[in-house]
């Protein structure tokens, strides 16, 4: 309680704002602001974002959580436990036990229903979920495999929301949003003229539609290389010189764009690379293909390469943002997702499990017709 009072009140005073003026800018009453400052009231995501923006702070810095605790457990894996091993925890026969968990794995996926028939683009579905469960589902398009961590975070906190994903490239995610098929689109597309991420691409497609860009994380995009070739392949130029067989991402993906930019700098046409035309639909799929020996290298993100024990060569750091129609931020389901993004606890998990830079996770990157806080 005192933490919110100290941080919010201190930031307001530093900004030389009284309660009346800050409340007016944030679109709330002075009484509500007083309750927030005293720790008696937890603001909604929209209010927290406005307060943080007006005070020049991040939501995490104003409403952050305490550090993660530690627990002693009995190791139940084979051999000795290596540092940074992912584990499942449970209490067995009165003792906490740690069992190793794979970083990525194939699994059966649950479903809300099964299509019975289709007519002119409309489908009849045998439903397994209640109407309330359907209303509380967020449809998220994009290519980040860490959406599974977001879904797990929400489930553990019994948040009134489920996350269903449409795995696709950044450009396809943007198209899905334009066509109103999803609540949010994840993207990491770099504008070649300005070097800025996402906002310029989205503005060209969306025009003046009211949107908000919320940062999910920043990550490294690069080459996943078979472990046995780490001494031969040190950069993109080596792919050409050594005739390396690669696997690619589809057109419209941020990873494909990163590879093409690197090749363009070298004056090399992509089609000269062996395997350039073979396209896969996700970061984990690329890493899995290299790990299985189907290719010797592929462009993906670091967490995917490391999940399959591959050598990784970084090409650049990219910002992955969620683009959300402004009207959707007022829905309880999307609001619960934004609450998770604004949790320092979730940011820590994302950073530890994926190696992402989460210093701006939950931060409002841009909104409305004008960009705010662009890089």
Q: Could you report the per-residue pLDDT of 160-180, keeping only the tens digit for each?
A: 888 999 999 999 999 999 888
Domain edges within the chain? 2-63, 123-375
Lowest mean pLDDT among 124-133, 343-352, 359-368: 359-368
* 83 vs 183: which has the higher pLDDT: 183
| Cα–Cα distance, 33 to 329 (Å, whole number) | 21
Q: What is the pLDDT of residues 40-67, one digit of tens each?
A: 676 777 788 888 888 888 776 777 655 5
H-only helix segments in 207-327: 236-241, 254-266, 283-291, 302-307
Write down the CATH number for the domain with range 123-375.
3.40.190.290
Which two tokens mark 285?
């799929």
| Cα–Cα distance, 129 to 58 (Å, whole number) | 37
**Residue 88 pLDDT level (bands cut at 50, 70, 90):** confident
With a cut of 70, say whether residue 375 has pLDDT above it: no
Architecture label for domain 2-63: Orthogonal Bundle (1.10)
* 239 vs 70: which has the higher pLDDT: 239
**Residue 68 pLDDT level (bands cut at 50, 70, 90):** low
| Cα–Cα distance, 348 to 342 (Å, whole number) | 11
- The per-residue pLDDT of the chain, averaged, comes to 87
Q: State which of 8-17, 63-72, 286-295 shows the largest mean pLDDT.
A: 286-295
How many CB atoms are located within 10 Å of the residue 1 CB? Answer: 8
78 Cβ partners below 8 Å, 6+ apart? none
pLDDT of residue 372: 38
pLDDT of residue 65: 58
State the residue for tokens 């300005």: 194
Q: What is the pLDDT of residues 221-278, one digit of tens each?
A: 999 999 999 899 999 999 988 889 999 999 999 999 999 999 999 999 988 999 999 9
* 301 vs 209: which has the higher pLDDT: 301
Work out the average pLDDT over 80-94. 84
| Cα–Cα distance, 111 to 205 (Å, whole number) | 31
Q: The pTM is what?
A: 0.77
- Residue 262 vs residues 175, 257, 285, 331: alpha-carbon distances, Å: 26, 9, 21, 41
């Amino acid at each position: 309680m005192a933490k919110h009072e100290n941080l919010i009140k201190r930031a307001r005073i530093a900004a030389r704002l009284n309660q009346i003026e800050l409340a007016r800018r944030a679109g709330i009453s002075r009484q509500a602001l007083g309750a927030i400052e005293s720790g008696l009231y937890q603001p909604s995501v929209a209010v927290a974002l406005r307060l943080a923006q007006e005070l020049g702070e991040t939501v995490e810095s104003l409403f952050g959580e305490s550090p993660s605790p530690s627990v002693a457990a009995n190791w139940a894996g084979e051999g000795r436990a290596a540092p940074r091993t992912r584990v499942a925890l449970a209490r067995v026969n009165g003792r906490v036990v740690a069992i190793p968990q794979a970083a990525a794995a194939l699994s059966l996926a649950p479903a809300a229903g099964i299509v019975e028939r289709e007519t002119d683009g409309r489908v009849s579905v045998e439903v397994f979920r209640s109407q309330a469960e359907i209303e509380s589902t967020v449809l998220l398009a994009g290519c980040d495999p860490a959406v599974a961590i977001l879904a797990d975070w929400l489930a553990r906190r019994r948040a009134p929301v489920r996350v269903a994903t449409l795995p696709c490239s950044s450009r396809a995610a943007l198209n899905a949003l334009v066509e109103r098929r999803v609540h949010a689109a994840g993207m990491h597309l770099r504008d070649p003229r300005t070097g800025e991420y996402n906002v310029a691409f989205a503005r060209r497609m969306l025009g003046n539609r009211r949107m908000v860009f919320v940062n999910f994380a920043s990550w490294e995009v690069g080459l996943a290389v078979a472990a046995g070739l780490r001494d031969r392949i040190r950069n993109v130029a080596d792919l050409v010189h050594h005739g390396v067989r690669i696997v690619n991402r589809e057109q419209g993906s941020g990873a494909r764009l990163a590879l093409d930019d690197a090749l363009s700098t070298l004056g090399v046409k992509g089609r000269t690379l062996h395997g350039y035309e073979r396209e896969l639909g996700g970061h984990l799929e690329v890493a899995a293909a290299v790990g299985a020996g189907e290719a010797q290298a592929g462009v993906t993100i670091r967490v995917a390469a490391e999940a399959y024990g591959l050598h990784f060569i970084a090409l650049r750091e990219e910002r992955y943002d969620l683009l959300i129609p402004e009207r959707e931020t007022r829905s309880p389901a999307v609001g619960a997702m934004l609450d998770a993004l604004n949790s320092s606890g979730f940011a820590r998990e994302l950073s530890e499990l994926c190696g992402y830079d989460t210093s701006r996770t939950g931060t409002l990157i841009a909104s409305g017709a004008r960009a705010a806080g662009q890089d």
